[in-house]
Structure 1
Amino acid sequence: MAKAQETVLEINLTALEHNYRYLKTKISSKTKFLGVVKAFAYGSDAVSIAQKLVALGADYLAVAYTEEGVSLRNAGIKIPILVLHPQIVSFDTIIERCLEPNLYSERILTAFITAAERHQQKIYPIHLKFNTGLNRLGFNAKDIPSIVKKLSETTAVKVLSIFSHLAASEDLEEKDFTLNQIKNFNIISTQIDAALPYIPFKHLANTSGIINYPEAHFDMVRSGIGLYGFGNDIDEDKNFIPVATLKTNISQIHYLEPNESVGYNRAFTSNKKIKTATLPLGHADGIGREYGNGKGVVCVHGYYAPIIGNTCMDMIMVDVTDIDCSEGDEVIVFGNKPTATEFAAGANTISYEVLTGISQRVKRVIVEQQNSINI
């Protein structure tokens, strides 16, 4: 892999393949696999990730919003794409681009049926989401009679699947809660199957559900963070390879005397002679103001260097007093060391936020079998 001469987010498709194949070992060969590629594929590159998942044999992709699905269709992605949080204003586009909406309330269901009828659709595939405890989006079990009535009055749509979302599948201290969610989903599934003249397929498990709750696999599983290299558990993380590595380099080295300050508002003041390195990325690139002053570390030549001073818009400063390094040397912000989880912990947040927060101005470099392509 090439050394970073500028700030880049390196996306390793070989790591993605490893993670996909590991997750596939956890499920039956008959169970479908959905890859979640929302939010630029967790901050990486949605098109490249989607193309690789298609090549690996994924059955479905999922995005949060319609325009994310449109971008994949424009890139030639043809497999089914589930839109997890569609808005009514986008229903015409969903139909025109053959995307499949998650419908989660009576208002949304009614509006989509109207749109499908206006487009003269017949049995257009839809997915119904039920709330089993996350209390975010979804119908409740008591809504089933109303749903079935609406569906019986139209031929424009057909329920392809019903699904729900686990709230705490990574936390085994919440096992009773998760098992209750699975129980509730089974009850809802039974009622839906009895009420409709056909049987929709079912899906419930996210990455942690895949790993911890095989009884929740149903007909399809959905993986997001696992594909990108994280198992939501220290032991499980060892089975994954991070896909994204944020690399940069040292722009300048400074030698400070005692009582000299670093950065805006003099947020850090040295109490001894120190050496600092200035790196060309900042909060405009996704390294928030919560970092700095000892919160968060980067890796220089295998050694951790703490971020000091306030994070600037385009720069951060790190303490490299005890590290043999020079201007131009490569720096790993996160990847294998530190991981995005470890980097995030410095600011009391999670890998999801760190990964998805990397600005689109940071160049993405696709890496596979040691060959890189700038995009």
Structure 2
Amino acid sequence: MTKVGETVLEIDLRALEHNYYYLRSKIDPKTKFLGVVKAFAYGSDSIAIAKKLETLGADYLAVAYTAEGVALREAGIEVPILVLHPQEVSFATLIEKCLEPSLYSRTIFTSFLKMAKDLGQSDYPVHLKFNTGLNRLGFGEKDIDFIVSSLEGVEHIKVSSLFSHLAASEDLNEKEFTISQIRQFEKISSAIIPKLNYRPKRHMLNTSGIINYPEAQYDMVRSGIGLYGYGNEAAEDENLIPVATLKTIISQIHKIGANESVGYNRAFVSKTPKVTATLPLGHADGIGRQYGNRKGEVSIHGKLAPIIGNVCMDMIMVDITGIDCKEGDEVIVFGQEHSAEALASSANTITYELLTGISQRVKRIYKD
């Protein structure tokens, strides 16, 4: 095993390619594919991931905020980019960089329409977001008349897509609710499309939707977490490969006696003699204070070592009693051999939070 020598996040673009083609295999070849690369591509590297997805043939990318889209454009990404949660203050920049906004309320719709007109735009692509039960962002059925009347005779914008977002597509116990969302979206979109003189795309499936409700793929699907190797259920995780592997090294090994403590506030006190290792990463790197005190484990030479004591800003300590290792040896915090899902669930959190929380001070390295 090659020593990394420091804390790094290894990004495996071959794994991304595998996941992309696996998810593609679940949909009709004619269905478009949108890759979600918000939040630094789920904590990895949005530019590297976006470039790879563009090469693989993704039809669209999506980010949360305008600044994320600007970074991609400045890196040379040319594929259409949907901004999921744009704010009025960034509309001019959004248009300048040829980004496509999700319009989700009357306020946002009216404001963007005015901006497009003021900047002399013609048929500028926009996406209309509808709330079908997640109750987060989106127009409601009651807004249909407002939308249709607002679009009459308008040349400054053109609706590229109508979309919604599923609330519990990974939970088959909520199948009835998910189907009700799909039906609601069908009702809303079917009411709007005949009143336009063109046919916008429709999309509402996320990763778990692609897997569990392919019949509702419409014209495009959106995948985030699945591209990065996690399918929200164990059976699907087996078909995907984690893209990001967080690696570090053993900085120092200590032998402690019974009744000795480890770390701040003496949060861990050993009942018996132990061997511990100190690792150079902590809550400033994304391993939060919810870990530690035997919540969470790392992998050293294929064996699991529990995190003990309180997580420090730049260090964590692990129990390596019985593990044959030495200072400088590589440690896998999470990745292909030790899942981020397992680490996250041990601290009662989710993979999304763990992945997106990895600090930008952690060096990124790439495999392709």
1:87 alignment partner in structure 2? 87
Unaligned ranges ≥5, structure 2:
none
How far apart in 2 are the matches of 1:283 and 1:316?
9
1:78 lines up with 2:59 in the alignment: no
- Residue number in structure 1 paired with 2:7: 7
Q: Counterparts of 1:211-226 in structure 2 under 5 Å?
A: 211-226=211-226
CA distance in 1, matches of 2:60, 2:100: 10
User: In structure 1, what residue type is equivalent to 2:307?
Assistant: I
* Equivalent position SS for 1:159: strand
What residue in structure 2 maps to residue 280 of structure 1?
A: 280
Structural mapping, 1:349-364, within 5 Å: 349-364=349-364
Which residue matches 2:171? 171
> C-alpha displacement at 1:337, in angstroms?
2.9
Q: Deviation per CA, 1:202-261: give whole Å up to 9, x if none.
A: 000000000000111000000000000001110110000000000000000000010000
User: Could you give the per-residue CA deviations for residues 275-302 of structure 1, whole angstroms, max 9, x where no partner exists?
Assistant: 0000000000000011100100000000
User: Which residue matches 2:27?
Assistant: 27
Q: Does 1:68 align with 2:86?
A: no
1:49-80 Cα distance to aligned partner (Å, 9 max, x none) = 00000000000000000000000000000010
From the superposition, tell whether residues 2 and 56 of structure 1 become closer, same or farther in structure 2 (CA, over 3 Å).
Answer: farther
Specify the code of the residue in structure 2 equivalent to 1:97: K
Structure 1 residue 3, shift from structure 2 partner: 2.7
DSSP 3-state at the match of 1:299 = strand
Letter of the structure 2 residue corresponding to residue 322 of structure 1: G
Residue type at the aligned position of 1:63 = V
Q: Please report how far the alpha carbon of residue 151 of structure 1 lies from its aligned counterpart in structure 2 after TM superposition.
A: 1.1
Q: CA deviation at 1:189?
A: 1.1
Distance, in Å, in 1 between the alignment partners of 2:50 and 2:105 is: 29
> How many pairs were matched up?
368
Cα separation, 1, equivalents of 2:366 and 2:134? 35
- CA drift at 1:195: 1.9
How is 1:184-195 mapped onto 2 (pairs within 5 angstroms)? 184-195=184-195
Structure 1 CA distance, aligned partners of 2:44 and 2:227? 12
| TM-score, normalization by structure 2 | 0.99
Two-structure CA RMSD over aligned residues (Å): 0.7
Counterpart of 1:41 in structure 2 is 41
Q: Is the 8 A contact 2:228 2:243 kept in 1?
A: yes
Q: Give the superposition deviation at 1:81.
A: 0.1
Q: Secondary structure at the match of 1:93?
A: helix
What CA distance in whole angstroms lies between the structure 2 residues aligned with 1:216 and 1:51? 28
- Matched residue type, 1:141: E
Q: Percent identical across equivalent pairs?
A: 68
Tell me the CA shift for residue 2 of structure 1.
Answer: 4.2
User: How far apart are 1:21 and its partner, in Å?
Assistant: 0.4
Taking the TM superposition and a 5 Å limit, the aligned residue runs for 1:70-219 are 70-219=70-219
| Amino acid corresponding to residue 26 of structure 2 in structure 1 | K
Aligned counterparts of 1:352 and 1:4: Cα–Cα separation in 2:
25
Q: Once structures 1 and 2 are overlaid, which stretch shifts more, 103-112 or 337-346?
A: 337-346
Q: Which amino acid is the alignment partner of residue 81 of structure 1?
A: I
**Partners of 2:4 and 2:334 in 1: CA distance:** 13
TM-score normalised by length of structure 1: 0.97
SS across alignment from 2:33: strand
Partners in 2 of 1:38 and 1:285 — Cα distance?
19
Measure the CA separation in 1 of the matches of 2:15 and 2:258.
Answer: 44
Aligned to 1:323: 323
> Aligned residue for 1:300?
300
The one-letter amino acid paired with 2:82 is L
Aligned residue identity for 2:282: G
CA distance in 2, matches of 1:281, 1:150: 53
CA drift at 1:154: 2.2
Distance (Å, rounded) in 1 between the aligned partners of 2:223 and 2:154: 33
Which residue is equivalent to 2:58?
Answer: 58
C-alpha distance in 2 between matches for 1:346 and 1:214: 31
Q: Which residue of 1 aligns with 2:256?
A: 256
Distance in 1 between the 2:233 and 2:321 partners?
33
CA distance in 2, matches of 1:143, 1:195: 14
1:310 equivalent in alignment to 2:310: yes
Structure 1 residue 153 displacement after superposition = 4.5
* Native 8 Å contact 2:3 2:328 kept in 1: no
CA drift of 1:335 comes to 0.3
Q: Give me the whole-angstrom Cα distance separating, in 1, the residues matched to 2:307 and 2:345.
A: 13
Uncovered stretches (5+) of structure 1, i.e. residues with no partner: 369-375
Tell me the secondary structure at the aligned position of residue 284 of structure 1. helix
